[in-house]
Copies of this chain bind each other. A is one copy, B any other.
């Protein structure tokens, strides 16, 4: 194929699929806003549009360069501002002589940047869900800034930036560990430092279910995420300028969808005997877990393996929710089970379906990224807690962050039930 046609295909792929990944930010917002109690359904909207905006700017300011520019094993260059290639700028300025140079890039580097940028926001979205209903707004935005400007880019430098894990052969196609794991570890550290919501765990050790503000809105969020995942995984082929790339992208989308579907049905099947009924939230989390699990190697697995990987992802997620509850870690939307635990499984599963990938290297990647992200996140949350307070006051939490922090209500005209009294226990 003509190199210019290849260039256009590659660029278009980044733009279209990247646009669709941006749409996942809406998915996280809806999932989280529907999952929290009504008194906190607005503040989570602000957190999400805020984090998407912060991520887009920090990745421009320093994140991209830390991740991709002159990576020396551990980290890229600390340099302000992402710049498009000089040749592209010259081409846009009408200098046709540089066309060959631009074609030599294979794609517009700006399109590539756009695609990388939307991934950063995904990692941050995971954190907002887990820490909903009690994390201080300032604290959350500060954490998001560091996560997107530094923590995620460092993990990215080790891997997609061709740093030390890449050199060892660590394999993670679209980011089961690099994106979802990073978000999950950061969320876990935050959930531990910030602590559980008032009344979530009763004195007798039992768990109190908190009412979601809107189940249909949660469901909408999951459908948005599923739709967006075609962009997340499909775009991660990183090229579309040949029959091989197009075929691989088709393979990726088929496997992504099969894994999501299998995650749903496996989660329903596993949750049913435990609860004695169908469990919508298990199905919804199962979809995400199945999608996360296949994300590490959707172009490697055969179709039946995609089903197995997705199904196991769903089961892992349902189980992990029980584990977190047992150790009294309060994750409002099940973000850590769906993104971190299912992501670990998916990252390891690549070694099962593909003999060229070393399972020990996969484990090393999971572990080293876990230690780094969890460690630095824990320290950061601790530091934030000292300086501005990671958590809202008891009074604000009881009143709800919408009224206390934003001065609004999510559904001000609707009459709400009084909250139960056992919140303090």
User: Which residues of A line the B interface, CB within 8 A?
Assistant: 1-2, 4-5, 7-9, 11-12, 14-16, 18-20, 22-23, 25-26, 29-30, 33-34, 37-38, 41-43, 45-46, 48-50, 52-54, 56-57, 60, 81-84, 88, 91-92, 99, 102-103, 108, 110-111, 113-114, 117, 137, 211-217, 219-220, 222-224, 226-227, 230-231, 234, 240-251, 253-254, 257-258, 260-262, 264-265, 268, 275, 277-281, 283-284, 287, 299, 303-304, 307, 402, 405-417
Contact (Cβ within 8 A) A220 B410: no
* Shortest CB distance A399–B (Å): 13
**Chain B residues within an 8 Å CB radius of A11:** 246-247, 249-250
Copies in the complex: 3
Q: Which of B45, B88, B216, B278 contacts A405 (CB 8 A)?
A: B278
Contact (Cβ within 8 A) B261 A46: no
Q: Give the residue name and chain of the B residue nearest to A111 (CB).
A: B250
**Chain B residues within an 8 Å CB radius of A215:** 41-42, 45, 402, 408-411
Q: Which of B49, B99, B251, B415 contacts A416 (CB 8 A)?
A: B415
Give Cα distance in the complex from A167 to B262, angstroms.
37
Contact (Cβ within 8 A) A250 B214: no
Give Cα distance in the complex from A359 to B419, angstroms.
58
Q: Which of B45, B50, B216, B284 contacts A30 (CB 8 A)?
A: B216
Q: Which of B54, B60, B413 contacts A303 (CB 8 A)?
A: B60
* Shortest CB distance A57–B (Å): 5
* Shortest CB distance A156–B (Å): 18
Contact (Cβ within 8 A) A211 B57: no
* Shortest CB distance A221–B (Å): 9
Give Cα distance in the complex from A417 to B412, angstroms.
8
**Chain B residues within an 8 Å CB radius of A23:** 223, 227
* Shortest CB distance A50–B (Å): 7
Contact (Cβ within 8 A) B1 A277: no
**Chain B residues within an 8 Å CB radius of A91:** 243-244, 247
* Shortest CB distance A300–B (Å): 9
* Shortest CB distance A171–B (Å): 16
**Chain B residues within an 8 Å CB radius of A5:** 1-2, 5, 9
**Chain B residues within an 8 Å CB radius of A50:** 264-265, 268, 283
8 pairs from A and B in contact (CB 8 Å cutoff): A8-B246, A22-B230, A22-B257, A29-B219, A38-B414, A56-B257, A56-B260, A110-B247
Contact (Cβ within 8 A) B415 A220: no
**Chain B residues within an 8 Å CB radius of A243:** 4, 7-8, 91, 99, 102-103, 108
* Shortest CB distance A261–B (Å): 4
Give Cα distance in the complex from A408 to B417, angstroms.
15
Give Cα distance in the complex from A380 to B240, angstroms.
45
Contact (Cβ within 8 A) A49 B8: no
Contact (Cβ within 8 A) A213 B411: yes
Q: Which of B220, B224, B405 contacts A277 (CB 8 A)?
A: B405
Give Cα distance in the complex from A374 to B247, angstroms.
38
Contact (Cβ within 8 A) A220 B8: no
Looking at A91, A137, A280, A299, which has the most chain B CB atoms within 10 Å of its CB?
Answer: A280
Contact (Cβ within 8 A) A113 B223: no
Give Cα distance in the complex from A226 to B29, angstroms.
14
Q: Which of B1, B223, B268 contacts A25 (CB 8 A)?
A: B223
Looking at A7, A30, A54, A114, which has the most chain B CB atoms within 10 Å of its CB?
Answer: A114
Give Cα distance in the complex from A99 to B111, angstroms.
28
> Given A19-B20, A414-B416, are A114 and B254 also a contact pair (CB < 8 Å)?
yes
**Chain B residues within an 8 Å CB radius of A16:** 16
**Chain B residues within an 8 Å CB radius of A240:** 8, 12
> Given A26-B220, A54-B265, are A8 and B9 also a contact pair (CB < 8 Å)?
yes
**Chain B residues within an 8 Å CB radius of A283:** 46, 49-50
Q: Give the residue name and chain of the B residue nearest to A56 (CB).
A: B261
Contact (Cβ within 8 A) A8 B242: yes
* Shortest CB distance A104–B (Å): 11
